[in-house]
Structure 1
């Protein structure tokens, strides 16, 4: 066989094209060109859209196991939480059932004792549901306008409450609406009682959207967290309604009185629906003749004009 007929080309494994450095420079320049072209002229956007559309089924298929694992974990966690909530609800229901049974027993005993002592039946406050229309435009007062007025049976000075506690009372009455002064108003005041010690006092508003329990001695038995309730002695508020709780006590105040700051039980902002109660004085027996007329509540006296004489007399 002649030597000239032999194939002297190297096998494919030993064939060498451009060098590795050349390939690196070429592909780096191509990548840089594509990035600049995509940023300035969006040339690669159609290609990216085609690739995204083509790869979407593949991505969804690959995400199926991950989604199943995540949903299964969430389902198990939710099932565990639901069982714990069910157990807690059952425990609270049992406790409430026990409290309801005790309450019925106490009501029966109370009725029997009142009959035995020949006392008049306890006062039941009648209520009227109302909706808050808007807040008063005066920036220096805390007042609301409700959609119930004199024609619906709302009385001047009627207490206004919600599911959290006392909000205030009606201070201005119209035929189809009424103005409610909130407890946090600077002219509001309400007679209260400490639910722990049964010590009576008066709470005043206008202290940074909070209440202040005034005229309490510096050594009085008041603690942070004490519940403050309506006393029912003003003939307006039914007794036992939640008013506030003691938030801060300053026993170093001047004048021998402690400065007691209260946090209202009911949230004063964002109120939409309220209950207007009938003043207690409508259900109380008539006042004996000869006794002076007292104001409806402490807030009514606090909202009186400041120029009026304190004792109601004339000039000296």
Structure 2
């Protein structure tokens, strides 16, 4: 009998149950119990269907609420990303502002718009050119130190080789000992300071700055920090591996010294 009730459409079961409940109200309490007991199975089915429908409705509400929460979370994440990007950019720009213009040094701010990676990003393209006063040979710095020099200049863009480029040579001084050497780009090691005297006291952690002797680079611009010292292959000089102060692989803004 229970199976026959199960085969009835839900709408008919609901009507049937309502009729049973209404009819049972006419009779005495004991008789109502007997009637309801007889029709327990269809009433149970109706009750189960009701709760199932209620659960489905609740489930839909929960899904809707979860979707709204996910959307709100996505919006918040987007705002946090924007805020973090703004914070990072502000930090970089504050570092750039750390270089003060003097009568001898005037700056042209530029954005890095492309890279031509020979090694780990040895050449960059900036969004300033001859129209903005940028010409071949001008020095490129960032907020923390030396980045490179302009190699080619177009009307509104320029190509600069970084200090890690094999064609880059910069006169350098060990800030602590005042020993002089040539800073050359090296694809495998990054930057090498060559031709240091054998009796030089240069050591790991020493800061290297530009010497200014070549006339291209202003004196005193920070190049990087010594991370190791060894004899060169000839045995006549020392050479130091230097870690650039500027994170050249992540360079996004720069200043061109005019």
TM-score by structure 2 length? Answer: 0.58
Alignment partner, residue 82 of structure 2: none
User: How much is the aligned-residue C-alpha RMSD, in angstroms?
Assistant: 2.9
Q: CA 1:223–1:209 in structure 2 vs 1: closer, same or farther (change >3 Å)? A: closer
**Residues in 2 aligned to 1:137 and 1:192: alpha-carbon distance in whole angstroms:** 25
Q: 1:272 aligns with which of 246, 252, 257?
A: 252
Q: For this pair of structures, how many residues does the alignment match?
A: 167
CA separation of 1:199/1:215 partners in 2, compared to 1, >3 Å: closer, same or farther?
A: same
Distance 1:191 1:160 in 2: 15
Change (3 A) 1:139 1:250: closer
Q: Deviations over 1:110-162 (max 9, x none)?
A: xxxxxxxxxxxx85201000111101265697111111111111121000001
The residue aligned with 2:173 is 193
Instruction: Provide the rounded CA distance (Å) in 2 between the counterparts of 1:152 and 1:252.
Output: 43
| 1:72-123 Cα deviation digits (max 9, x unpaired) | xxxxxxxxxxxxxxxxxxxxxxxxxxxxxxxxxxxxxxxxxxxxxxxxxx85
Which residue number in structure 1 is paired with residue 184 of structure 2?
Answer: 204
| Preserved contact between residue 205 and residue 211 of structure 1 (Cα < 8 Å) | yes
Structure 2 regions of 5+ residues with no counterpart?
Answer: 1-50, 60-101
* Contact 2:147–2:162 (8 Å) recurs in 1: yes
1:235 deviates by: 1.4
CA contact (8 A) 2:119 2:187 kept: no
C-alpha distance 147-249 of structure 1, shift in aligned 2 (>3 A)? same
- Inter-CA distance 136–167: structure 2 relative to 1 (3 Å threshold): same
Q: Gapped runs of 5+ residues in structure 1? A: 1-45, 55-121, 279-316
Q: Which protein has the bigger strand share?
A: 2
In the alignment, is residue 256 of structure 1 matched against residue 236 of structure 2?
A: yes
- Corresponding position of 1:125: 105
Alpha-carbon distance change, 145 to 225 in structure 1, aligned in 2, over 3 angstroms: same
Name the counterpart of 1:175.
Answer: 155
Q: Report whether the alignment pairs 1:215 with 2:186.
A: no
Give the TM-score normalised by structure 1: 0.48
